[in-house]
Structures are given as structure tokens and as C-alpha cells.
């Protein structure tokens, strides 16, 4: 009979025999490993509607393969997170978190792996016009599905300067 395990968010694994096991990433002397934090972040973005980034992940239907419900399987498939990288869905940016569609990538690599921009010059002009009528940046961010800081950058011409 296969051993059944349950996992807790802090990295503990409790086997069907009741013995606790550790993979060594859930709590180290300096806290959780960067690999474990990436796994936790992936889970929060996809599974927790309370997470601020959920609307860009779980809210869009991005899922995590069943195998990666276990940190040990994630670690086995992805390996240790190299310094200077984060988890990236590649080659399909709209695909799920699963083996074959994820890599450890630098910020530069991730910049080249973005979804199509949400804003166009026409929308930027509309945002500026609406902001001039007194609509709050938070409301504009919700309407246009971008962050409030993006709206602030547009309104104050820190970004989209030539529009």
C-alpha cells in the first residue's frame, strides 16, 4: 500500500504513519529557502482570491498541476532556484504552472516573455481624460485592469510620455 502524506504550508510532511518529515526548505536558520518561497508565491497567486495578484493568475484561470501541490515534486522538477532568478511560465505565458512550461528566469529573460500589453495609446488618452474629470486612480486601475501605480505613471506622464 502506498504511503499517504499530507503537507502543511510551513513545509512539514506528515506521513500516514504519523511521523513528521522535512525537506529542509520550509524553515531554515534564515527562514524559508528562495525555492520554497517561489513555490508558496505560485500557490498564493493561483489559489488565494485574497492575494493581490490573484486576478492576474488564478482569476484568469492559471492553475498549478496536481503534481506541484507537493513542494517535493516541484523541487524535483524545477531544481533549486538559482540566485538572481524567479519562477517564470515559459514558453506559454498564458499557460499553467507545470513541468514543461516553467523555468527559473532572470528579470531580463522575463521581460521578453510578457503577455501582450493591456494598454494602447488610445486607452492612455482615455485614462488621462477620465483622470482630469476627477475619477480616482484606484477606480481607473480597476476599470482598465492595471495597477494604481501604472495609472499614476500615465497621469503624471512618467510612462507613455509621447502619447
Is the residue at 161 inside a domain? no
If asked whether residues 15 and 84 sit together in one domain, one would say yes
If asked whether residues 127 and 103 sit together in one domain, one would say no
* pTM of this structure: 0.58
Higher pLDDT, 23 or 9: 23
pLDDT one-digit tens code per residue, 59-108: 999 999 999 999 999 999 999 999 999 999 999 888 999 999 999 999 88
Count of domains observed in the chain: 2
If asked whether residues 94 and 51 sit together in one domain, one would say yes
If asked whether residues 77 and 45 sit together in one domain, one would say yes
If asked whether residues 78 and 128 sit together in one domain, one would say no
- What residues contact 90, with CB distance under 8 A and at least 6 apart? 101, 102, 103, 105, 109, 113
* CA–CA separation, 141 and 152 (whole Å): 9
Is the residue at 146 inside a domain? yes
If asked whether residues 77 and 151 sit together in one domain, one would say no
* CA–CA separation, 84 and 107 (whole Å): 8
If asked whether residues 11 and 47 sit together in one domain, one would say yes
The predicted pLDDT at position 20 comes to 45
If asked whether residues 75 and 13 sit together in one domain, one would say yes
If asked whether residues 78 and 55 sit together in one domain, one would say yes
If asked whether residues 9 and 44 sit together in one domain, one would say yes
Containing structural domain, residue 12: 5-111
pLDDT at 29 over 90: no
Amino acid at each position: 500500500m502506498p504511503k499517504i502524506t499530507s503537507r502543511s504550508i510551513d513545509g512539514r510532511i506528515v506521513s500516514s504513519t504519523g511521523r513528521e518529515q522535512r525537506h529542509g526548505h520550509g524553515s531554515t536558520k534564515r527562514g524559508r529557502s528562495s525555492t520554497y518561497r517561489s513555490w508558496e508565491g505560485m500557490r498564493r497567486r493561483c489559489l488565494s482570491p485574497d492575494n493581490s495578484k490573484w486576478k492576474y493568475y488564478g482569476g484568469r484561470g492559471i492553475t498549478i498541476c496536481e503534481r506541484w501541490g507537493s513542494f517535493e515534486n516541484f523541487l524535483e522538477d524545477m531544481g533549486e532556484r538559482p540566485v538572481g532568478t524567479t519562477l517564470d511560465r515559459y514558453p506559454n505565458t498564458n499557460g499553467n504552472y507545470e513541468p514543461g512550461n516553467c523555468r527559473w528566469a532572470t528579470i531580463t529573460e522575463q521581460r521578453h516573455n510578457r503577455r501582450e500589453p493591456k494598454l494602447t495609446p488610445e486607452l492612455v488618452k482615455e485614462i488621462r481624460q477620465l483622470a482630469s474629470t476627477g475619477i480616482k486612480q484606484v477606480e481607473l486601475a480597476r476599470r482598465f485592469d492595471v495597477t494604481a501605480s501604472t495609472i499614476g505613471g500615465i497621469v503624471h506622464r512618467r510612462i507613455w510620455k509621447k502619447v
